[in-house]
Structure 1
Amino acid sequence: MLGILPVAFYEQQSTLSLAESLLGCILVKETNDGRCSGMIVETEAYIGPWDQAAHSFESKRTKRTEIMYHSAGHIYTYVMHTHCLVNIVSGEVDAPEAVLIRAVEPLEGKGVMRSRREGKNDIQLTNGPGKLTKALGITMNDYGGMVTSPPLMVEAGKVVRKEEINTGPRIGIPNSGDAKHYPWRYWLSGNPYVSK
């Protein structure tokens, strides 16, 4: 691995740019079970308070969304249905924006991931936002941390060329007005771990 990405990586680019730049980077979680990691292959950008799909739409500052108002590089986890999802805060302080990590390609700790996702084949381990958090051991305890230090980090990885990236509407946001059409989902073309 090429080392943990510095906070400047998150602070010095827009949320849309960050959603692209994270593709190819390595999401790492260290737990008592060991180190698990995966290459980020799919992301979604959320830009509140005018993005109807964002939790911070209309500046809804709640206990859940509070960390979105902090500096870039913070971890925003939340539970949707029964799944924990992980986002990286972007934008400036008091500008509640974030990038959702939608899918990763497993790298380290596949045995641990399989034990956490019992009965699932390799593609099914991490090809969705709730699947990857369970496989890597990301929980609500990670809320508010920084991805620049353990136990949850993002490391430099593969250099991705623009022509390798596809974009399209975000998934699972039917009641978000025009925002459901914004092409703010980014994924690595042809990667089998991209969510379905």
Structure 2
Amino acid sequence: MGRTGTTRRGALLAVGAAAGGLLTACTDGDDGSRGPTSAAAVRAAKALRVKSAGTSRELLRQYDAVLERHPDQATRLTPLRSAVARHVTALSPPQPPKKKGGSAKPSPSLPASSVPSSAPSSAPSLGTAAGDTGDAASGPAPSVPADPGAAIRELAAAERRASDAHADALVHAPPELARLLASLAAADAAHAYLLTEGSPS
């Protein structure tokens, strides 16, 4: 039992390093479309990205709601919340390159405001997290139990649902996107374990 904290921190660092490398590698490409690709396949891949980004964005809203209700959990939850914010960024459809003498047309899939520019350094409230939550912030905030332990357990369940959703989606994804979704599914599963393993009673 005395090694629980060290083990948890080590697992978190390992997951963060591995997922971070995969996120960088997967977002540098274009969903693996190096040859001729049908317009239908491109549209399907983009729709899958949007749906998966929505899954991670909803999870991000859950973190924001828990952090607002239980700010004393910030030290523990902020690193995980930051990782989920990076998931949203990685899943956002790539923006077309700007043309000389003018700007490219904005992507119709997601507004620029829905993409977090960087991971937050502290736990923001729902009112200051618009850059991370995007259009999802317009809906009602998720309900959060008054008991911190129950709130953390619900957050762990939300992480498991996100992991399952990404795992289901990767079956229908092109290779590059499938690799990204696999890394996110693994990261979310690890988050769920970390939250459950150290959940306050």
For this structure pair, what is the TM-score category when the shorter chain's length is used for normalisation? Answer: under 0.3
Query: Structure 1 length normalisation: TM-score?
Result: 0.26
Q: Scaled by the length of structure 2, what TM-score is found?
A: 0.25
Greater strand fraction, Structure 1 or Structure 2: 1
Larger Rg: 2
The structure with the greater share of residues assigned to helix is 2
